Every structure is written in C-alpha cells, then in structure tokens.
C-alpha cells in the first residue's frame, strides 16, 4: 500500500534506535531512561515494548548489529591485495580503514567502551567484540607474515595494542574533539609511526 519507508513499525523502530543512540551517547546507559527515549522519539511509552523486549534488548540489538558490521568491514579490508609494495602498507590500509569505520560508527563504539562495558549485563557484547577483532587482526598478521618470530601470545598482545591505540585516538578526536573524516589521514600516519618515529633527531629516519 505504501512504500517501505512508511511501513508502520519499521519507521518507529528506526526512530527508537536513533533516539536511543543519541541519548545513550549523551547520558550513558543508566542515565538514559526509556521514558526519555520515547519522548525523544515522539511516541508513547508502551510503543517501545512493541519493538524491543526491554531496554537491554534495545542496547544489545543495536550494539550487536553495529559491531558485526564493523568487524565485517574490517574483515573485507584484510582480504585486500597481499603484495607489499612498500613497508607498512597493510598496516596503513588497515588502520585507515579501522578509523573510517570507527568514525562512521563512533556512537556505538564509544558507547560500547564507555557505557556498555560498564554494565555487567552487557559486558559480554564488549568481550565478544574485542575477541573477534583481535582474532581478525591476528589472522591478518599471519597471512602477511608480519611479526614473524612472535609467539601466539605476543601476537595477541600486539593485536590488542593496536585496537587500544586506534580506539583511544579515535575516541578523543572523533568524540571529544569532534573531528571529522578529514583528520583520518593524519591520524593514520601518526598511528603507524607511533613507535617508529620516536628517536631523537640524530638517529632518525626509519627507526
């Protein structure tokens, strides 16, 4: 009878999600009341429960689908060409992609870190996400034979280190400073150079 975008329900569901993401980000998981979400979304309290079983269900459903998207986006990237025309190419591409994805999903990722993880009810989402990401990164390392002499544990640590690095910078620039996509190139370069460019003048260049 009508086009899809006007389908009853789907529209409301979207509006709830949008409102929730906004409020979760601003006020945290516990700070956001269902009553605020529905007010923001312009509907009655009861309507919320037509689309979500509970407040936690809303969070889980938003977070999970979003994080899956992120993991997929990065996974696709890892499939890219394997020839290293130049040292650091994979690293560059991966970090760049990660930052871009983070940017586009900055709300949920920030939420996950700062809000989701805070609530024991929801911790499993965070744990699962990081596990998946770390595994993905390790796989990429192995595929391209990066860190050739590392043990599994060292590789795992490295993976988590990368995630932490990217996430912290992304959070502070995208969320707290409100930077946009235009900063990504510079961020990527810096993140690649983090441990490389650290030597004082005289011993500079490539380490």
Distance CA 69, CA 107 (A): 14
Does the footprint of DNA cover residue 12 (CB under 7 A)?
yes
Does the footprint of DNA cover residue 47 (CB under 7 A)?
yes
Closer of 75 and 190 to a copy of itself (Cβ): 190
Tell me how far, at minimum, the Cβ of 94 lies from DNA, in Å.
38
Touching a copy of itself, residues 39-98 (CB under 8 A) = 84, 87-88, 91
147: left (phi over 0), alpha (psi -120 to 50) or beta: left
Q: What are phi and psi of 15, to 5 degrees?
A: -65, -35
Does the footprint of DNA cover residue 27 (CB under 7 A)?
no
Does the footprint of a copy of itself cover residue 36 (CB under 8 A)?
no
Does the footprint of a copy of itself cover residue 154 (CB under 8 A)?
yes
Residues forming the site for DNA (CB under 7 A): 1, 8-9, 11-12, 32-35, 43-50, 54-56
Residues forming the site for a copy of itself (CB under 8 A): 26-31, 84, 87-88, 91, 113-121, 127, 130, 141, 144-150, 153-154, 157-158, 160-169, 172-173, 176, 186-187, 190-201, 203-207
């Amino acid at each position: 009878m009508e086009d899809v975008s006007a389908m009853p329900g789907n529209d409301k569901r979207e509006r709830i999600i949008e409102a929730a993401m906004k409020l979760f980000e601003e006020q945290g998981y516990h700070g956001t009341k269902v009553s605020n979400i529905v007010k923001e979304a312009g509907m009655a309290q009861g309507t919320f429960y037509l689309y979500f079983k509970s407040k936690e269900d809303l969070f889980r459903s938003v977070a999970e689908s979003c994080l899956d998207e992120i993991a997929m986006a990065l996974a696709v990237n890892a499939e890219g060409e394997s020839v290293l025309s130049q040292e650091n190419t994979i690293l560059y591409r991966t970090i760049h992609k990660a930052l871009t994805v983070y940017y586009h999903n900055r709300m949920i990722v920030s939420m996950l870190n700062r809000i989701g993880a805070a609530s024991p009810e929801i911790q499993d989402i965070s744990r699962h996400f990081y596990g998946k990401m770390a595994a993905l990164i390790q796989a990429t390392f192995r595929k391209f034979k990066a860190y050739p002499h590392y043990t599994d544990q060292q590789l795992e640590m490295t993976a988590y280190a990368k995630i932490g690095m990217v996430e912290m910078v992304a959070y502070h620039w995208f969320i707290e400073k409100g930077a946009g996509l235009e900063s990504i190139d510079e961020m990527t370069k810096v993140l690649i150079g983090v441990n490389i460019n650290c030597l004082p003048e005289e011993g500079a260049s490539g380490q």
